[in-house]
Structure 1
Amino acid sequence: MNQNAKNPVQNLTKIDYLTVVFCPNEVARLRFDAKLAFGNGDFSSYKEAYNAMLCAEMFDQNATDDLEVDINEAVSFNSDLLYDELFESNLAGSSKYRQYNSITEIPEEERKHFLKNVVRKTKRYKTLTSLIEGDISHFMHLLNTEVATKADRLTSDTLSWSYRNNNGGMFTYEKSATLYRHDVNSGVIAWGANNGGVMISFSGTGCAGLDIPKLHSMLKKMPNVKITRLDIAYDDYEGNRTVLDYFQNLEEGAFCKTNQAPSWSFIQTGELQKISTEEQAEWRKKHGWQKRYDCVANGGNTLYVGSRKNGKMARMYEKGKQMQSESQPNWVRAELELRSIDRVISLDALLNTDAVFAAAYPAFAFITAERLEIRTTSRQKKHNGALVAERLERYCIQSYSKFVNYLRHIQELSSDEIIERLTKGLNPWDIPDSINQACITPPNQMELTT
């Protein structure tokens, strides 16, 4: 059964948590440039490359800024001269960093902090921040006027959705705010040009106030939008499938989709209850001491399958007992949590949560015959020849420098003899695979093989 935003199908499951990120095209372009620069080995980290892009594009021949620095257009991003020209005045003007002669002398972690401080002084950064905050305002307007459910749409004077700024940032973002639906905490917003965009999370309370098909239509039109977390819940109010049933499914392999079995944990909660006077007397007579309590697992069972750090996890728990519900004491909830770790969560997953839920594990296949797979992407190792060689040299020094020292000073071998002994039997083009994969060609390889 195909589903679209105009003719949505009623799902048995529902969205219980949703996180989306987005950013203006200008920020997306800077992020792409930073990935290229980092991939080329021009910078030691992506964050460092991104900060440099933010600063560097601010300085052209006609620009004026808090940092009075001129940059030659011929200077490329893979040159240390770029750092010296951009940050030299700030390096000398800061008491914390005055001891360093150049940006490259600052330790890596401190260098990231220094770069971030320099970035925040630029008009470029302030302009991008304004663009991002404008996108947030537009998002909130659409949330109140189009995306909110009919029940949540109030008058123009009374908005159902609002947010209040927090004192600090969140999740490495520079700024954050709490999202409210009818003045009830319903999620968070975090943003910053230094973090490259906006993150908006809706909790279960927030998701209940969203018209999901209209949210899907809005997200489709937004630039550079991505779902980073999607929680889908199935509520079995009668408890036809218990947590112990799911545990049996686990033992039968119904939570295994590959040859690698997932991790799991099973938790019971309850209370201690006193035993009867007769049982206490019998226990004391038999064992010589008084047993005062029995452990009663009446607080509910919870089963976790998978790992959050791998981007896919299921949890099944007795929500009726958790909520102490008198009308629905057997209520069991099964939840699927997906994160954009080695996977792309399609926007269409918002419309057909049943198919996504059923495709996640064979144990959830009873929901529907439809399947919408959120497949994992193969993680390709990103190699940079210069960085790999630098790392291997460091490991070699740590592991074998004393042995080489022994060969040189105790056995009194010459440098040529040491090299000959350690490389005996190797061809000139025999180099580590990790450097080979970085497309580094050894010098004169063509001459040596012809």
Structure 2
Amino acid sequence: MAPRPVTRGESPKGQQVAKIDWLNCTFAEPAMSVEGFVSLLGRMLGRPVSGIADRGMLGFDSSVKLFARHGSLTSPIGCIAFGGESQRGRWLFQLTGGGCQFVRDWAGLRDLLESLDAKLTRVDLAVDFLEGEHTVEEAVTLYQTGGFQLSGRPPSSRLDGDWINGHQGRTLYIGKAQNGKMLRVYEKGRQLGDPDSQWTRFEVQLGSRDRVIPFDVLTDRDAFFAGCYPALASFIDEAAEAIPTLTKGGEVTLAHLVYHAKRCYGKLFGTLLEQTNATNADLVEEVRIVGIPRRVNLSSLAAGVTWADVQAQHQKVSL
């Protein structure tokens, strides 16, 4: 029996607001080298991409970690893995959430993967509501009233996170990843460090077990997101667009890190400025390290985060 296709629906509007937030696929070893594939990927991302050899992973003997460049900064975006008798010459290509945010040509990437006869094994579709237009509580109510019911049966559910105080963020899981489809509804802003944020993310993880993930999911994202569960079809019109979501994520994360830097080292910096002849510039140069913190998504910086935005968010977090 052939695997059944992923359920899809009709997109309520033409603009694509659902984002790819993770991509795994496999394909037979291509005619091009790893270096050639990395170079071609750079064209899809619209920026230089480099690779560094790494150890094996997920049953593959070897891997190459992929990094994207923005100005003088680089950030990990995924990997290529290959080798191993059980893999029979196949490669694994993975783009993380940060890597997916850099892709500017999903149609081109789709064409590339189709030309390689790739098999999509995992695709995550995310829709963001920055002002809490739809919430975790609403998702719980929708689940209880049958909004996520398919074929007459409700999918499994699970709650995780801070459901007593809510400051650290809460998550509702619907379905199971090992069954090929799972919805995560979680408070993204609070996860990033803003305890008062209303930013909620609805994210569907599609897997290839017992189903085929068609390439259309890469370019017709809204339709596939809406078609995953009945309750999701009406959400698209209120979703935030990609760039505002990226900048908001950068603001929240950087402000959270500034808050903790001040809390942990603010007195030290003040003492050094007051008791020594150090200047502000001296202090910054002494402690500055070129690079970006692991928690900061380089794609959010590329989207145009400003110091004024970070200051405003920091003031909010500090209250």
Does the 8 Å CA contact 2:136/2:170 hold for their aligned counterparts? yes
Structure 1: gaps spanning 5 or more residues: 4-8, 25-130, 153-159, 271-294, 370-450
Is the CA contact 1:12–1:367 (under 8 Å) kept in the aligned structure 2? Answer: no
Distance (Å, rounded) in 1 between the aligned partners of 2:133 and 2:10: 28
Shift of residue 137 of structure 1?
A: 2.9
Aligned to 2:56: 169
Q: AA paired with 2:109?
A: L
Q: CA deviation at 1:297?
A: 2.8
- 2:193 counterpart residue number: 324
- Corresponding position: 1:148 with 2:45: yes
Give TM-score, length-normalised by structure 2.
0.64
CA distance in 2 between partners of 1:193 and 1:321 (Å): 41
1:193 shift after superposition: 5.5
Please report how far the alpha carbon of residue 268 of structure 1 lies from its aligned counterpart in structure 2 after TM superposition. 3.2
DSSP 3-state at the match of 1:261: coil
Aligned to 2:134: 241
- Equivalent position amino acid for 1:237 in 2: L
What code does the residue aligned with 2:38 have? M
The aligned residue for residue 181 of structure 2 is: 312
Q: Secondary structure at the match of 1:258?
A: coil
What displacement does 1:260 show? 3.7
CA distance in 1, matches of 2:18, 2:118: 24
Equivalent residue, structure 2, for 1:342? 210
| Counterpart pick for 1:23 among 21, 28, 33 | 28
Tell me, yes or no, if structure 1 residue 178 matches structure 2 residue 65: yes
1:192 lines up with 2:83 in the alignment: yes
Deviation, 1:207, is 0.5
How far apart are the structure 2 equivalents of 1:310 and 1:344?
13
Q: Using the alignment, how far apart are the partners of 1:353 and 1:138 within structure 2?
A: 28
Kindly state the Cα deviation for residue 212 of structure 1 after the two structures are TM-superposed: 1.0
Separation in structure 2 between the aligned mates of residue 337 and residue 360 of structure 1, nearest angstrom = 10
Which residue does 2:119 correspond to in 1?
226
User: Could you say which residue in structure 2 is the equivalent of 1:286?
Assistant: none
Q: Give the drift of 1:366.
A: 0.8
Where in structure 1 do 4 or more consecutive aligned residues deviate above 6 Å?
Answer: none
Q: Structure 2 CA distance, aligned partners of 1:345 and 1:20?
A: 10
| Corresponding residue of 2:4 | none
Q: 1:178: Cα distance to partner?
A: 1.5
Question: Corresponding residue for 2:307?
Answer: none
Q: Is the 8 A contact 2:10 2:227 kept in 1?
A: no
The answer to whether the Cα contact below 8 Å between 1:22 and 1:225 also exists between their aligned partners in 2 is yes
Structure of greater Rg: 1
SS at match of 1:299: coil
**Aligned-residue RMSD, C-alpha:** 2.4
**Conserved 8 A contact 1:230-1:337:** yes
Count how many residue pairs are aligned between Structure 1 and Structure 2: 220
Provide Cα deviations, 1:410-445, integer angstroms capped at 9, x if missing partner.
xxxxxxxxxxxxxxxxxxxxxxxxxxxxxxxxxxxx
Equivalent position of 1:14 in the other structure? 19
Q: Report if aligned partners of 2:77, 2:96 keep a CA contact under 8 Å in 1.
A: yes
Among all aligned residue pairs of Structure 1 and Structure 2, give the percentage whose two residues are the same amino acid. 33
Distance 1:368 1:240, change over 3 A: closer
- In structure 2, distance between residues paired with 1:264 and 1:365: 20
SS at match of 1:174: strand
Cα displacement string for residues 266-312 of structure 1 (whole angstroms, at most 9, x for unaligned residues):
12327xxxxxxxxxxxxxxxxxxxxxxxx633212110011111110
Q: 2:37 matched to 1:139?
A: yes
The 5 A counterparts of 1:100-139 are: 134-139=32-37
SS in 1 for 2:79: strand
Equivalent position SS for 1:140: helix
Please give the residue correspondences for 1:43-442 in structure 2 after superposition, counting only pairs within 5 Å. 134-144=32-42, 146-149=43-46, 152=47, 160-166=48-54, 168-182=55-69, 183-192=74-83, 194=85, 195-196=87-88, 197-210=90-103, 211-222=105-116, 224-269=117-162, 296-325=165-194, 329-367=197-235
Q: TM-score, normalised by structure 1?
A: 0.46
In 1, the alpha carbon distance for the partners of 2:123 and 2:165 equals 35
Mapped contact 2:56–2:81 kept (Cα < 8 A)? yes
CA distance in 2, matches of 1:297, 1:368: 26
Q: Which has the higher contact order (CA 8 A, sep 6+)?
A: 2
1:88 counterpart residue number? none
Between the aligned partners of 1:345 and 1:136, the Cα distance in structure 2 is 25
Q: Distance in 2 between matches of 1:261 and 1:249?
A: 11
Deviations 1:140-171 (A, max 9, x none): 12112x3123xx2xxxxxxx2111111x3111
Contact 2:10 2:226 in 1 (8 A): no
Deviations 1:22-69 (A, max 9, x none): 114xxxxxxxxxxxxxxxxxxxxxxxxxxxxxxxxxxxxxxxxxxxxx
CA contact (8 A) 1:140 1:161 kept: yes
Q: How far is 1:360 from its partner?
A: 0.1
- 1:224-250 CA-to-partner distances (Å, cap 9, x unmatched) read 311110000000001011100000011
Q: Deviations over 1:378-405 (max 9, x none)?
A: xxxxxxxxxxxxxxxxxxxxxxxxxxxx
> Which structure shows the bigger proportion of residues in strand conformation?
2
Contact 1:355–1:368 (8 Å) recurs in 2: no
In 2, distance between residues paired with 1:219 and 1:320?
A: 33
Q: How far does residue 135 in structure 1 lie from its aligned partner after superposition?
A: 4.3
SS at match of 1:208: helix
- Provide the C-alpha distance between the structure 1 equivalents of 2:34 and 2:206, rounded to a whole number of angstroms: 24
